[in-house]
Amino acid sequence: MDPILQQLQREIAISLQGLDATQTQIRPSTANPDKWSIQQIVQHLILTYANTEIAINGRLTKGAPTRAQPTLQQRIRQYAVTSLGYFPGGREAPSPVCPPDCSLPLSGEELSHKAAVGLARIDQLFAQAESLFGSRRAISHVVLGPLSIYQWRRFHLIHGRHHLRQIRAIRTVHRV
């Protein structure tokens, strides 16, 4: 696995270590039930991996990278996220990557395994796309615009870290 995604996989596993299926249902605050639980945060990450998989497969099927060019605003966002490691908060997730409100409770270990499977799948596809498209901007992101495979890997790492901070905060507040 690529070192960037391998690092993300390790960080996910550490953040979920020791949580049982009840603890993964904890939300940041009982006063705000709209905030995601630990499980929903991880499910969101897994959904982003699945959506990335769809986008990569689309480009691989076409056998060509995207022709789209990033706007100035997209270039600024790309630089902030993939170069500086800054992920802005407060943005609502697009509906395709919003986790369900209710699903079978899973332990931290089970969630970590599911995330690892999703990361392994996109890692394999990233490697195929990189060998086909090289370092060019290959696949478009809904907000950041067209990204290279390296930028996609960095996006997933920085996005993942953004949400892992939320998990750590929940664990700290609830002492789990």
Token pair of 131 as six digits: 């060998």
Q: What are phi and psi of 139, to 5 degrees?
A: -135, 135
Domain boundaries, the chain: 3-174
Q: Is the pLDDT reported for residue 143 higher than 70?
A: yes
pLDDT given for residue 31 in this prediction:
66
Q: Is the pLDDT reported for residue 72 higher than 90?
A: yes
One-letter identity of residue 110: E
pTM of the model: 0.96
Task: Give strand ranges (E) for 85-138.
Answer: none
CATH of 3-174, picked from 1.20.120, 1.10.10, 3.90.220, 3.80.10, is: 1.20.120
Tens digits of per-residue pLDDT, 26-55? 999 866 778 999 999 999 999 999 999 999
Tens digits of per-residue pLDDT, 82-95? 999 999 988 899 99
